[in-house]
Each structure stands twice: as structure tokens, then as C-alpha cells.
Amino acid sequence: MRRTVSLLTTMAVALIVASGIALAQSQLDQQQPLDDGGYALVNETATTEIAQTFTAGVTGTLDKVSLDVGCCADDSGNIGGTPAGGGILVGLSSGVDSSGLPSGLKAFATIPASDFSTDGTLHWEDTLTFIPVSSSGTYVVAGKQYAISVSVNHCHSAFATTACPPLSASGYQWGWTTPSAYSGGNALVFSGSGWQPKNDYDFAFKTYVTPDTTPPRVISTRPHNGATGVAPLARVRATFSEDMMASTINDTTFKLYEKGATIPVKARVAYDANTKTARLNPTKELKPHTRYRAVVSVRAKDMAGNRLDQRPGVEGDQPKRWHFTVAK
């Protein structure tokens, strides 16, 4: 059975390659690889949480984060001890606020304690699979800032999955470089008064992202295709399969035509990012007993810049078209 599944998978990949469709692969996006400035410590006896903001360079799914970390040390810098709790909890923020501080939580992952030696040396360690907290999961957008936060994963954590071990003064180290070497973000330390930027160093990290190459589609419309008896004051809606680039949703990419006409109905077009829905509101009532055609152009793009393609199996990008008829 396993050989059959493997064979089918290989055949499917071969067909995709033969069709000319490129398979997106995870790639290194952002990094600050230096750790020549020492390290910061996070342990269970302190409330300290540390973080590094970064600017995504690729739009797509963040698959993993790699950190230059070690264990163990205490607040006095003494090396040795038992790894605290269940390892490191790594959070991915929803973004940063106007002050450049972490805002919200998109997802979290762990680096288990079993990955660490206890000699205090730093090693590059990868996170396990991220667990999404928000509906957007680990999707990141090029040019937008996010934050990687690090804390001890133990039973007092909101994400605890194991029994609580005794508190340990030994903590995990996250290597940094001085002076600041990464232009896309800052190191931060969380104290009782909130996040504090540290502009004189940056933590060592790497992010890996699978680029988004999937074209968006319209997944629902209102009125639906073929609808009759539609009210003259009806508003036309198109909901997309993913977040869209708002600047590409306008009266040049979303149009409404009376049957047989080549000039579109005058209308105002807006995009609601919360619902992924484009709204077309005609400036006048629609004519009774008249058939209309709505069109979303292939120039409408998702956040990665992929053009709308309503029928991916057909050569060339395909717009979305549907018809409805206004009541008498």
C-alpha cells in the first residue's frame, strides 16, 4: 500500500512538472546569522521574554524558524544545569504596531528540550511545525514586519501540553551580534512595563518561506449566477478564495454590464479585507426586466501579486463572469 501511494505521488508530481506548473519550495527568506556579541537569557524564574522583529521579503507561508540557541546558563552566567520546562516556545506575531512592537499572535511552535545539550554552546535549531492561532496561520506578506518571540515552554504557559516540572534558574540562551546588524527589525526584551527595543544588537535567526504561487479565485457571488427577480437596488458582491491586494480591486477590475453593452454601468467599487469581498454599488437603480453581466478581471491580484485565474486548468488567466436578471 505504501509503495502504491508513493508511486501515485510520484506520478502526480510528474504530471504537474510536465504541465509546466512550477512547484513552490521553501526557501531562506530573512536572516541575521551572527552571534559574536554573546547571548540573552530566558528562564522560568524570570518574567522576561525576548524577541526579534523582521521584515518579510517573500509573500507566502512561513514554514519554520531557525534560531541560534543553547542551554544552559543562569542569571550570573554560570554554565550547566538541566534544560528548563519543555524547551523553547517560539511565537510568530500578527505584525508590529506603529512603535515597532509585537502585536497579536499568528502561530506558535516549539524547540523541545531534547534538542539541547547542557554545555552552554550555541547551535542552530529548527522549530517544530507551527500551530496556527489566527485564521491567517503563518502566511506572511513581503514588506510587512513581524516578530519572533522566545520564552520557556512549561506548564505555566497558555500552550502547555506536559506536566509542570520544578522551576529552574537555568535558562536558554539566544545568541546575538553587536552592534545591530539586521536592518529589517530590532531585538526586544519584555519587562514589566512592556516591550523595550534594543537598538544596539540583533538576535541570530533565519526564516524559511514557501512562496505563494496559487492564483486567487472568486468562490461566491451575489446575486448568484443565473439569478432572476433581482431587486433594482441590488448590490453586486464577489468573495475571493484568499486575501487580495486592495489596490487592484476597483472600477477597472470589477465591472457590471447591461446585456449587449460594451460600456460598464457606473458604480462604486470597494474591497472589504475582513471578508475578502469586493462590493460593486451601481450609482443608479438597475433597469427592470434586464439581464446584466458582472466581470472580475484577471488584473485583480492576491497579496503575492498572483493574478486572478478562475479556471486554472484552461490556458491563460481566466476572469470571473456571471449573469443575473433584474425583476420586472
Instruction: State pLDDT tens for residues 190-214.
Output: 877 788 899 899 999 999 999 999 9
Which range of 7-21, 115-129, 156-170, 292-306 scores highest in mean pLDDT? It is 292-306
Query: Would you state the pLDDT for residue 160?
Result: 40
Q: What is the pLDDT of residues 113-157, one digit of tens each?
A: 889 888 889 999 999 999 999 988 999 999 999 999 998 875 444
Which range of 97-101, 178-182, 306-310 scores highest in mean pLDDT? It is 306-310
Query: Would you state the pLDDT for residue 20?
Result: 44
In a domain, 167, yes or no: yes
Residue 40 and residue 92 in one domain: yes
Residue 241 and residue 100 in one domain: no
Which range of 44-53, 54-63, 152-161, 311-320 scores highest in mean pLDDT? It is 54-63
Residue 168 and residue 241 in one domain: no
CA distances from 245 to 123, 136, 249, 295, 299 (A): 39, 15, 7, 17, 11
In a domain, 80, yes or no: yes
Query: Would you state the pLDDT for residue 51?
Result: 94
Please say if the pLDDT value at position 250 is more than 70.
yes
Task: Name 166's Cβ contacts closer than 8 Å, sequence gap at least 6.
Answer: none
The single residue listed with the C-alpha cell 478564495 is 241
Residue 206 and residue 225 in one domain: no
Residue 38 and residue 164 in one domain: yes
Among candidate residues 163, 190, 211, the one where a domain is terminated? 211
Residue 183 and residue 203 in one domain: yes
Q: What is the mean pLDDT of the chain?
A: 87
Residue 126 and residue 250 in one domain: no
Residue 189 and residue 237 in one domain: no
Residue 185 and residue 240 in one domain: no
In a domain, 1, yes or no: no
Q: Quick one: which of 87, 85, 56, 86 has its CA closest to 70?
A: 87
Mean of pLDDT values over 99-103: 92
**How many domains, the chain?**
2
In a domain, 14, yes or no: no
The single residue listed with the C-alpha cell 501515485 is 8
Confidence band (pLDDT; 50, 70, 90) for 299? very high
In a domain, 19, yes or no: no
In a domain, 295, yes or no: yes
Query: Would you state the pLDDT for residue 194?
Result: 84
Backbone angles phi, psi at 321, to 5 degrees: -130, 140
Residue 204 and residue 228 in one domain: no
Q: How many CB atoms lie within 10 A of CB 209?
A: 24
Among candidate residues 180, 211, 242, the one where a domain is terminated? 211
Q: Report the percent of the chain where pLDDT is more than 90.
A: 67
Residue 173 and residue 226 in one domain: no
3-state class of 8 per DSSP? helix
Query: Would you state the pLDDT for residue 78?
Result: 84
Confidence band (pLDDT; 50, 70, 90) for 252? very high
173-178-181-184 Cα dihedral, nearest 10 degrees: 60
Mean of pLDDT values over 32-60: 86
Considering the entire predicted model, what is its pTM?
0.82
Scored b (16 or more CB within 10 A) or e, 135-170 reads: eeebbbbbeebbbbbbbbbbeebebeeeeeeeebbb
In a domain, 16, yes or no: no
**Sign of dihedral through CA atoms 49, 53, 56, 59?**
positive
Query: Would you state the pLDDT for residue 83?
Result: 76
Confidence band (pLDDT; 50, 70, 90) for 74? confident
Name the pairing type of β-strands 227-230 and 320-326: parallel
Query: Would you state the pLDDT for residue 128?
Result: 94
Among candidate residues 166, 195, 211, the one where a domain is terminated? 211
The single residue listed with the C-alpha cell 509585537 is 102
In a domain, 8, yes or no: no
Residue 301 and residue 267 in one domain: yes
Confidence band (pLDDT; 50, 70, 90) for 251? very high
Report the CATH number that the domain containing residue 239 is assigned in CATH. Answer: 2.60.40.1220
Q: In which domain, by residue range, is 269 found?
A: 218-326
